């Protein structure tokens, strides 16, 4: 028997998938279906959205019957570091075109190294500088990748 | 066929060497798997040109299968999923003082299986490609659909979850221009999204960024590594004799499993171990440190890597994340895999196949003397490696189209991938849905147009009908067998 928390988790993710499917179907209404002989750009998204909706219902109905792995509580306890890192990544994506690759990547690696437990300030700073400069030399100078 | 020797030109030899060394390191390091690593080097390989670039990508792919066994045997930590089974007997052999023998047998089994699968690939791929020339949209649609259903059955875990991820990937593939009419869909006025979601950005996020986030949540400890000297790398005559039958069985099994969509290398190694448990003369010793438990699975996972190249090279259909990245690399360099690959790009086709022979020899020569060095790579703390992976992911994502929007896609895919792991969803089906989505859409709509809107046009040809029936059987079989078990007396 599935542990209640895992079953509930699966049911909630099924609800989430159902919401995604409905949102996708609603957004896809603006594309014409036309006919099967001359199919329009809306027909395939309609089929895909309905398929995901059906799969979400299937998962919801079977969640309580299927044996699944219990929820990983140890991962949940350590979830603050990935959460902070996710926010940092969003800031990185936003800041990359503004401050440029070198500075943004230095900050990214520095914070990631600190969050992963690299102690002190000098070691993460040295790692960040090394990674940012080496990446710039390899990709921009040698390979000609036009990084911002 | 003379194009096979293209692999022996100095630039291609260098690309092959770089690929197999990088692949071995990726295989040795737990975490970033071959698909993620291949996505990260795409900006580099584009600069090498089609033949050398693809030789390097392929080298990473099969090199990782070699490297995975090293840490399985020495540290009891599999570098990647296909080497999990090797830990069972490999690590026990190491604890008995036979680590050198186990490593040597793993390398020899990988070499034998890798070479066999290249010969089979060389013979089979052109035949399949010639057959596929007769395929129309209906057949391609049926084959891709069969692949998707098989994939959902084989990825392990829940079938609705796997299928939902495939469909989610297909839905993501509809962002951007529609493949037939050119209508821009689901971009929500974001200019950068018009070209669609970059496959490389999604792969780098799902496999690279998500791995870094997962490592932050549960940092892995580095284990002490058993020291192996070169002179200890000699299996005894008895160990060699006992290894030959499981090696041959694993090779054939692995190659056949490699043709099936799904995580073929992992499944092949488990199937091989299961077969040895049933048929080996020494089956009672399996699990206690038997050489058969290393020879069979290691041969199987390498042969599967070769088998998986057939649908990609001859039909243009990738059924594993690694071959999907390989497909992406080919398209980046304007090389379209499929039935016309042999006609349009014979140098690429035979060059890549030729490089498999060269690469297998390089791996054998590298892995035996340098095994101690590769094992030490596994002891590098992840906190020093993983932050750099984030920057490589960003470079890979950005350089695909020089588009900052793709960095957003990478970040989104990374967070999604991390959440998916926690919720028990495998990212591999999503990646394959993203790759197969445009093919499914194009072939379905073309087949319907040709059949003037008649749905029967999808199964009017015998090959399409057979594949659709097979997909239906595979889809309903688990439910029917569950019903039969419930109805059985007792």
Q: Strand pairing of B176-177 and B184-185?
A: antiparallel
Identify the band that residue B46 occupies on the pLDDT scale cut at 50, 70 and 90: confident
pLDDT number for residue A1: 45
**CB-CB neighbors (< 8 A) of B49 in chain A:** none
Closest Cβ–Cβ partner in B404, B418, B454 for A148: B404
Q: Which of A51, A89, A147 sits opposite B398 (nearest CB)?
A: A147
Q: Nearest residue of A to residue B212 by CA position? A: A82
pLDDT tens digits, B398-411? 988 888 999 999 99
Within 8 A of A59 by CB-CB distance, chain B residues are 158, 160-161, 164
Best of A18, A27, A55 to disrupt the B interface by mutation (most B CBs within 10 Å)?
A55
- pLDDT tens track for B146-170: 888 887 776 656 888 989 999 999 9
Chain B residues within an 8 Å CB radius of A6:
424
Residue B157, min C-alpha distance to chain A (Å)? 8
What is the rounded distance in angstroms from the CA atom of residue B372 to the CA atom of residue B228? 6
Q: What percent of chain A has pLDDT over 70?
A: 86
Q: Which of the residues A11, A18, A41, A132 would you substitute to probe the B interface, choosing the one with the greatest number of B C-beta atoms within 10 Å? A: A41
Q: Is A87 within 8 Å of chain B by CB?
A: no
User: With bands split at pLDDT 50, 70 and 90, how would you rate the model's confidence at B278?
Assistant: confident
Residues in chain A with CB shorter than 8 Å from the CB of B390 are 89, 108-109, 112
Q: Does residue B482 register a pLDDT over 60?
A: yes
pLDDT computed for residue A77 by the predictor: 47
Report the chain B residue with the minimal C-alpha distance to residue A60.
Answer: B160
Which pLDDT tens digit goes with each residue over B353-392?
A: 888 889 888 988 887 777 777 767 767 777 888 898 899 8
Closest CA to B324 of B437, B159, B184: B437
Q: Is B156 left (phi over 0), alpha (psi -120 to 50) or beta?
A: left
Digit-coded pLDDT (tens) for B47-81:
888 899 999 998 998 888 777 788 778 777 676 67
Q: How far apart are CA B59 and CA B276, in angstroms?
A: 29
Task: Name the burial class of residue B429, with classes exposed (0-12), middle (13-18) and buried (19+) by CB atoms within 10 angstroms of its CB.
Answer: buried
B426: alpha, beta or left? (left if phi > 0; alpha if psi -120 to 50) = beta
d(CA B390, CA B407): 11
Q: What pLDDT is recorded for position B227?
A: 62
Per-residue pLDDT averaged across B248-265, rounded? Answer: 85
Secondary structure (DSSP) of A97-133? HHH-HHHHHHHHHHHHHHHTT--SSHHHHHHHHHHHH
Residue B242 has what pLDDT?
94
Helix, strand, coil percentages (3-state) for chain B, rounded to 5, are 75, 0, 25
Partner B contacted by A143 (CB < 8 A)? yes
At residue B244, the 3 state secondary structure works out as helix
Using an 8 Å CB-CB cutoff, list chain A residues near B161. Answer: 10, 59
User: Using the beta-carbon criterion (under 8 Å), do A51 and B399 form an inter-chain contact?
Assistant: no
pTM, two decimals, is 0.82
Proportion of chain B above pLDDT 90, given as a percent: 26
* Predicted local distance difference test score (pLDDT) of residue A12: 92
The predicted model gives B16-43 an average pLDDT of 83
Looking at residue B205, the DSSP 8-state letter turns out to be: I
Chain A residues whose CB is inside 8 A of the B386 CB are: 112, 116
Q: Which of these, B456, B59, B466, B88, lies nearest to B285 by C-alpha position?
A: B88
Which parts of chain A register pLDDT below 50? Answer: 1-2, 68-69, 71-75, 77
Write the ipTM: 0.90
CB contacts < 8 A, A to B, total: 183
| Other Cβ atoms within 10 Å of A8 Cβ, number | 14
Average of per-residue pLDDT across B434-441: 89
For A85, the closest of B216, B398, B424 (CB atoms) is B216
- Residue B420 CA to residue B434 CA, distance in Å, equals 16
């Amino acid at each position: 028997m599935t542990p209640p928390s895992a079953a509930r988790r699966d049911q909630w993710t099924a609800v989430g998938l159902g919401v995604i499917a409905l949102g996708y179907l609603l957004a896809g209404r603006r594309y014409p279906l036309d006919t099967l002989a001359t199919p329009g750009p809306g027909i395939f998204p309609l089929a895909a959205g309905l398929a995901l909706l059906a799969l979400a219902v299937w998962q919801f109905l079977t969640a309580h019957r299927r044996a699944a792995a219990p929820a990983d509580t140890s991962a949940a306890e350590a979830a603050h570091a990935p959460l902070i890192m996710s926010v940092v990544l969003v800031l990185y994506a936003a800041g990359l075109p503004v401050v440029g690759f070198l500075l943004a990547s230095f900050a990214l690696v520095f914070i990631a190294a600190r969050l992963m437990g690299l102690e002190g300030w000098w070691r993460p700073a040295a790692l960040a500088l090394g990674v940012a400069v080496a990446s710039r030399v390899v990709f921009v100078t040698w390979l000609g990748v036009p990084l911002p | 066929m003379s194009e096979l020797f293209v692999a022996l030109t100095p630039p291609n030899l260098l690309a092959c060497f770089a690929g197999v060394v990088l692949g071995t390191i990726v295989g040795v390091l737990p975490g970033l798997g071959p698909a993620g690593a291949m996505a990260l080097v795409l900006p580099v390989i584009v600069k090498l040109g089609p033949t050398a670039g693809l030789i390097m990508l392929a080298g990473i792919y099969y090199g990782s299968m070699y490297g995975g066994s090293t840490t399985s045997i020495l540290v009891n930590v599999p570098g990647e999923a296909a080497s999990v089974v090797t830990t069972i007997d490999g690590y026990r052999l190491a604890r008995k003082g036979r680590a050198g023998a186990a490593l040597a047998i793993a390398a020899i089994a990988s070499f034998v299986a890798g070479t066999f699968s290249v010969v089979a690939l060389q013979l089979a791929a052109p035949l399949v490609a010639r057959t596929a020339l007769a395929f129309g949209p209906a057949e391609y649609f049926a084959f891709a659909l069969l692949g998707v259903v098989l994939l959902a059955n084989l990825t392990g875990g829940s079938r609705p979850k796997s299928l939902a991820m495939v469909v989610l990937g297909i839905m993501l593939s509809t962002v951007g221009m529609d493949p037939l009419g050119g209508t821009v869909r689901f971009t929500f006025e974001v200019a950068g999204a018009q070209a669609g979601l970059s496959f490389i950005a999604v792969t780098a996020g799902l496999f690279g960024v998500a791995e870094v986030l997962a490592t932050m949540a549960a940092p892995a400890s580095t284990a002490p590594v058993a020291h192996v000297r070169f002179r200890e790398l000699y299996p005894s005559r008895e160990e060699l004799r006992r290894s030959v039958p499981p090696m041959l069985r694993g090779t054939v099994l692995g190659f056949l499993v490699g043709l099936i969509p799904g995580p073929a290398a992992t499944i092949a190694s488990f199937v091989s171990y299961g077969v040895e448990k049933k048929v080996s003369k020494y089956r009672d010793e399996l699990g206690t440190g038997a050489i058969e438990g290393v020879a069979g699975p290691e041969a199987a996972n390498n042969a599967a890597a070769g088998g998986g190249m057939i649908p990609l090279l001859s039909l243009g259909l990738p059924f594993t994340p690694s071959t999907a990245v390989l497909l992406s690399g080919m398209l980046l360099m304007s090389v379209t895999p499929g039935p016309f690959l042999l006609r349009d790009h014979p140098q690429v086709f035979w060059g890549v196949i030729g490089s498999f022979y060269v690469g297998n020899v390089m791996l054998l020569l590298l892995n035996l003397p340098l095994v101690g060095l590769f094992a030490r790579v596994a002891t590098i703390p992840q906190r020093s490696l993983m932050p750099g992976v984030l920057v490589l992911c960003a470079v890979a994502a950005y350089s695909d189209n020089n588009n900052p929007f793709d960095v957003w896609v990478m970040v989104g895919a990374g967070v999604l991938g991390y959440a998916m792991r926690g919720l028990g969803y495998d990212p591999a089906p999503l990646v394959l849905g993203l790759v197969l989505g445009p093919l499914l859409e194009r072939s379905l709509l073309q087949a319907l147009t040709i059949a003037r809107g008649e749905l029967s046009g999808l199964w009017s040809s015998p090959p399409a009908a057979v594949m659709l029936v097979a997909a239906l059987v595979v889809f309903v079989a688990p439910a029917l067998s569950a019903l039969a078990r419930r109805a059985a007396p007792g």
